[in-house]
Amino acid sequence: MNASPVRPWQIAAGGLTLAVRATPKGGRDAIDGIELLADGRNVLKIRVRAAPEDGEANAALIAVIAKNAGIPRSAVTLVRGASGRIKVFRLAGDPGTLAAALERVAHERVARGRPPQQNG
Specify the pTM.
Answer: 0.86
Judge whether 102 lies within some domain: yes
Domain count, the chain: 1
Average of per-residue pLDDT across 76-88: 97
Judge whether 110 lies within some domain: yes
Pair 45, 33: CB distance under 8 Å: yes
Encode pLDDT of 35-75 as tens digits.
999 999 999 999 999 999 999 999 999 999 999 999 999 99
Q: How far apart are CA 95 and CA 112, in angstroms?
A: 26
Judge whether 80 lies within some domain: yes
CATH code of the domain containing 40: 3.30.1200.10
Judge whether 4 lies within some domain: no
